[in-house]
Amino acid sequence: MYILKNACLSIIRNKGRNILIGIIIVIIACACSVTLAIRSSAKNLITSYENQYDISATLEVNRDSLMKNFNPSSEDKEQGRKDMIDQFNNIESLTIENIENYSDSDYLKNYYYTNSINVNSSTINKATSEITDNEENRKRPDNMQMPDNNISQADFTLTGYSSYEAMNDFITGSYTISEGSIDNDFSSNSCVINSELATLNNINVGDTITMTNPDDESKTYQLVVSGIFTENNSDSENSMNMFSKSANTIITNANFINNIISNDNSVKYNITPTFIIKDKDSISNFESELKEKGLSEYLTLRTNLDEVEGATSSISNLSTFATTFLIVTFAIGAVILFVINMINVRERKYEIGVLRTIGMKKSALTTQFIIELLIITIIGLLIGSLIGALISVPTANMLLKNEIEASQNNMENVNKNFGGKMFDGNNQGRPDLQNRNGINGIVNVKQVDSIEAVVDFGVLLKLLGIGILLTLISSIASMISIQRFSPLTILKERS
Partner 1 sequence: MIMAILKLDNVCYRYKDALNDDYVFKNISYEFELNKTYAIKGKSGSGKTTLLSLISGLEKCVEGNIYYEDNNLKDMNLDKYRSTNIGIVFQSFNLLPHLTALENVILSMDINKIYKKEKKERAYKLLESVGIDKEKANRRVLKLSGGEQQRVAIARSLSYNPKVILADEPTGNLDKDTENDILNIFKKLAKEENKCIIIVTHSDNVAKNVDEVFELAKKE
Largest alpha-carbon pair distance within the chain?
A: 119
For residues 135 and 145, give the distance between their C-alpha atoms in angstroms, rounded to a whole number: 23
Nearest CB to partner 1, comparing residues 52 and 363: 363
CB of 361 to partner 1, least distance (A): 5
CB of 379 to partner 1, least distance (A): 19
Nearest CB to partner 1, comparing residues 164 and 350: 350
Of the residues 20, 66, 305, 354, which one makes contact with partner 1 according to CB under 8 A: 354
Residue 487 as a binder of partner 1 (CB under 8 A): the answer is: yes
For residues 93 and 380, give the distance between their C-alpha atoms in angstroms, rounded to a whole number: 67
# chain residues binding partner 1, by CB under 8 A? 26
Residue 20 as a binder of partner 1 (CB under 8 A): the answer is: no
Residue 160 as a binder of partner 1 (CB under 8 A): the answer is: no
On the 0-12 / 13-18 / 19+ scale of CB atoms within 10 A, 43 is: middle
User: Residues 356-364: contacts with CB within 8 Å, 24+ apart?
Assistant: 356/485, 356/487, 356/490, 357/487, 357/488, 357/491, 362/482, 362/483, 364/3
Residue 114 parent element (H or E): strand 108-121
419 three-class SS? coil
Nearest CB to partner 1, comparing residues 125 and 489: 489
Task: Give the closest residue to 13 by CA, choosing from 372, 277, 422.
Answer: 372
Of the residues 242, 331, 406, 488, which one makes contact with partner 1 according to CB under 8 A: 488
Instruction: Write each residue from 311 to 350 as x if it is in contact with partner 1 (CB under 8 A), else as -, in one continuous string.
Output: ---------------------------------------x
Nearest CB to partner 1, comparing residues 206 and 359: 359
Residue 495 as a binder of partner 1 (CB under 8 A): the answer is: yes
- 270-277 and 55-61 beta bridge pairing: antiparallel
CB of 467 to partner 1, least distance (A): 25
Sole window of 7-15, 158-166, 256-264, 431-439 interacting with partner 1 (rule: CB under 8 A): 7-15
333 three-class SS? helix
Of the residues 106, 358, 419, 420, which one makes contact with partner 1 according to CB under 8 A: 358
Under a CB-based contact definition with an 8 Å cutoff, are residues 65 and 298 in contact? Answer: yes
Residue 379 as a binder of partner 1 (CB under 8 A): the answer is: no
DSSP for 288-321?
A: HHHHHTT--TTEEEEESHHHHHHHTHHHHHHHHH
Nearest CB to partner 1, comparing residues 364 and 460: 364
Nearest CB to partner 1, comparing residues 16 and 425: 16
For residues 423 and 439, give the distance between their C-alpha atoms in angstroms, rounded to a whole number: 8
Given the rule CB under 8 A, which residues bind partner 1? 2, 5-6, 9-10, 13-14, 350-351, 353-362, 364, 486-488, 491, 494-495
